[in-house]
Amino acid sequence: MPYPQFSIQTLVFSLLFAFCFSPLAQDSGPSANLLPNPSFEEEAGGGVQGWQSRAWSGETNAQWKVVAPGRTGKQCVSIGSEKGADAAWTATVAVKRDAFYRLSGWIKTKDVRGAVGALLNIQNLPEARTAAVLGTRDWTRVTTVFQSAAAAELEINCLFGGWGQSAGQAWYDDISLEQLDSQPNDTQAAVMIDTSARSEAYSPMIFGGFLEHFGHQIYGGVFEPGSPLSDKRGFRKDVIAALKELRCPVVRWPGGCYASGYHWEAGVGNQRRPTDDMAWGVIEPNTFGTDEFVALCRLTGWQPYICNNAGNGTVEEMKDWVEYCNARKGTYAQMRKDNGHARPQNVNLWSIGNENWGAHEIGYKPIEQWAPLVLAAAKAMKAADPHIQLTAAALPTREWSLPLLKLAGPYLDYISIHSYWLPLWGKNDMPD
C-alpha cells in the first residue's frame, strides 16, 4: 500500500555510476597467498593443517570432511548437512591495517539450499564476502576485494549457511588471500548528474528510524522521569527537540533482538514490575512501554511501528497487542481504557518478528517453522484489525522469501530484510 509521495530533484534519482572494470590499478601481478595450506593438501589430526571446523548453529547436523579428489591436487574440504547447519572451515591470518586484499577460491555444490548458501567470508569484516553458490553447481570461482580497515588479523571462513542454516553439501578448494599493491579501480566510482531529467517521486518512509531498549536509547535518552530536563510525563524535552529536527517519518520499537523476549503486558498499566531483559542481560524496569511509545511518536511526529515478539511470544499475544492499541471494544481495548487511553491508538504498522531467521535471536526458527507461524500470526492480527499493515522478518534469498510469500504472502504488505552495511558496531567510528 503506497505512502504519501513527495517530489525530489533528479539530482538524487538520476545518479549514473561509471565504473572502471580493469581489475587493478598498476597491478604488478598476484602477490603471495597469505592463507595456510590453501589447497588443503596437508592433513593434521583428522582435519587439515591451518584450518579449524566451527559452527554457529546445527553443529550436531554438520559434517566436515577432507575428500578426494580436489579441484586441483589430491583433496579438498567439504561441509554437508541433511537437516541444516551454519558452519565453516576457518583460518586466521595476520594482515596490514587499511590495506586492500582480494579473497578468492573455488566452490562446488550439491543441492545447497536455505540461508545464504556456500561462500567465502571474513568473520570480523561481515560485509567482506563473495557471492554465494546455491543449488547444484560444478567448480565455480568466487572472489571479492575489500579493505582491512583497522583489523590486524582476519578470520577467513569457507562458509556453509550464513545468517541461518543451509542444507546440502559444498566443497571448497584453492582458497587465496592476496594483498593488492594499490586500491582497485573497480572500487572507485564517478558520479554524473543529469540535471535535465524530470523529477521523480519517492516515499518518505525510506528515512525511517529505530528505537530499542539497550544502552541509553530509552532510559536516560528519550525518557528520564524526574530529570529537570524532562516534562511531566518523563520525556526529555531537549532530546525531543533534537529528534524533531530529523523529521523522521516512522520509528520501529521495541527492537531489535529485544523484541524477541519482550512481553508487552509487562509494560502497561499501573502495576508494572521489573523483568529480566533476555536479549541484553539487564533488568528492564518496564516504565517505558506501549502507551509511552505511542505518546513519544505523537510528540515527535513519527508514525509508530511495533515489532512483535515472535521469539518466545505467542500468536495470541501478538493479536492481543493489536487489540490493545487499536480496538474499540474487547478485553484488551478495555484494558487500554482503564489505563487512561479511551481512544484507539491507531498503530498501523506491525512487524512479525525481528531476525528470527538467525541463531543469534531468541526463538530462532528455520523457514519450515517460520512461514506457518507468520501465517497464523498474520491471520490473528488482521482479525483484530483488518486495516493494519504487516511485515515479517525475511532474508534476501529465494530459499527463505519464496516459501514465506507462498504461504503467508496474501496477509503481508511487506517483508523486512535486514543488512548491516557498515560493520562498525562496538566502536565509536565512522567509515572512510
- Let me know: does 115 contact 163? Beta carbons within 8 Å: yes
Q: Identify the pLDDT of residue 424.
A: 63
Query: What is the average pLDDT across 400-417?
Result: 94
Interval 223-282: pLDDT, tens? 999 999 999 999 999 999 999 999 999 999 999 999 999 999 999 999 999 999 989 889
| 260 vs 151, higher pLDDT | 260
17 or 285, greater pLDDT: 285
pLDDT of 187: 58
Each domain of the chain, given as residue ranges in start order, spans 6-20+188-200, 43-185, 203-417
What does the pLDDT look like over 307-359, one tens digit per residue?
Answer: 999 999 999 999 999 999 999 999 999 999 999 999 999 999 999 999 999 88
Cα→Cα distances 183→22, 27, 100, 146, 147, Å = 12, 9, 6, 9, 9
Q: So what CATH class is 43-185?
A: mainly beta
Which pLDDT value is given to residue 188?
A: 59
Mean pLDDT (whole number) for 140-168? 93
pTM (two decimals): 0.62
- Give the pLDDT mean for 369-390: 97
pLDDT band at 3 (very low <50, low <70, confident <90, very high): very low
Summary mean pLDDT of the chain: 89
- Report the distance separating Cα 238 and Cα 223, nearest Å: 11
- Share above pLDDT 70 across residues of the chain, in percent, rounded to a whole number: 89
Q: What is the mean pLDDT of residues 204-224?
A: 93
Pairing label, strands 275-277, 47-48: unpaired
Predicted pLDDT of residue 184: 72
pLDDT above 90 covers a percentage of the chain that reads 76
Q: Write the class of the CATH domain 203-417.
A: alpha beta
**pLDDT reported for residue 12:** 33
Give the per-residue pLDDT at 151. 87
* pLDDT grade for 24, boundaries at 50, 70 and 90: very low
pLDDT at 10: 33
223 beta partners: 219, 235
Q: Provide the pLDDT for residue 5.
A: 40
- Predicted confidence band of residue 31 (pLDDT cuts 50, 70, 90): confident
Max mean pLDDT among 13-22, 25-34, 291-300, 392-401 falls in 291-300
pLDDT in tens, 73-87: 999 999 999 999 999
415 pLDDT band, cuts 50/70/90, is very high
Q: Any idea how long the chain is?
A: 432
pLDDT at residue 90 is higher than 80: yes
Domains 43-185 and 203-417 fall in the same CATH topology: no
DSSP symbol at 85: E
- Rounded CA separation 303/288 (Å): 18
Q: How distant, in Å, are the alpha carbons of 65, 224, 312 from that of 114? A: 20, 44, 23
Which are the contacts of 303, defined by CB distance < 8 A and separation ≥ 6? 249, 250, 251, 297, 348, 349
As to burial, measured by CB atoms within 10 angstroms (0-12 exposed, 13-18 middle, 19+ buried), residue 173 is buried
Q: Is the model's pLDDT at 294 over the cut of 90?
A: yes
Calculate mean pLDDT across residues 24-52: 81
pLDDT higher than threshold 60 for residue 21: no
Euclidean distance between CA atoms 17 and 369, whole angstroms: 41
Q: What is the mean pLDDT of residues 58-79?
A: 96
